[in-house]
């Protein structure tokens, strides 16, 4: 697909599907949990799912991981898509990951 100007019209609304049906590679099991689990496994309390913001900055791929339920965020980088996804998975697994409070709206 070529780079092109987008229409300002709203696209037609599709039929929503369950996010649990989305296939994730086995190497991204922690990411899948964060993205699709709407309840905490240990307590069954409801939780807001995590979101990702992907972008590139001066040739480096970056990803903000937004843990909406805990109102914190962290950023990871990679020099390839595979490297970025590995960094995301590591950040979600590592208890030493530096999370920052989400800024007030």
pLDDT in tens, 28-83: 999 999 998 888 888 889 999 999 999 999 999 999 999 999 999 999 999 999 99
Q: In Å, how far are 27, 46, 68 from 91, measured between CA atoms?
A: 13, 23, 15
Q: Would 53 be classed as within a structural domain? A: yes
Tell me the average pLDDT across 6-13.
Answer: 64
Q: Would 85 be classed as within a structural domain? A: yes
What is the domain range of residue 57? Answer: 24-101
- Tell me, what's the pLDDT at 10? 62
Q: Which two structure tokens, joined as six digits, stand for 44? A: 């069954």
Q: Would 6 be classed as within a structural domain? A: no
13 three-state secondary structure? coil
Evaluate if residue 11 carries a pLDDT over 70: no
Q: Would 95 be classed as within a structural domain? A: yes
Q: Would 90 be classed as within a structural domain? A: yes
- Tell me, what's the pLDDT at 103? 78
Maximum separation of any 2 CA atoms in the chain, in Å? 47
Q: Would 96 be classed as within a structural domain? A: yes
Question: Into how many domains does the chain fold?
Answer: 1
Whole-angstrom distance, CA of residue 88 vs CA of residue 81: 11
Q: Would 2 be classed as within a structural domain? A: no
């Amino acid at each position: 697909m070529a780079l092109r100007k987008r229409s300002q019209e709203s696209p037609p609304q599709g039929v929503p599907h369950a996010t649990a049906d989305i296939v994730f590679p086995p190497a991204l099991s922690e990411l899948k949990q964060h993205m699709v689990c709407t309840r905490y496994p240990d307590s069954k309390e409801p939780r807001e799912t995590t979101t990702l913001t992907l972008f590139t900055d001066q040739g480096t791929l970056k990803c903000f991981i937004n843990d909406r339920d805990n109102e914190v965020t962290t950023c990871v980088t990679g020099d390839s898509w595979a490297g970025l996804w590995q960094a995301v998975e590591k950040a979600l697994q590592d208890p030493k990951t530096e999370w920052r409070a989400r800024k007030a709206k």
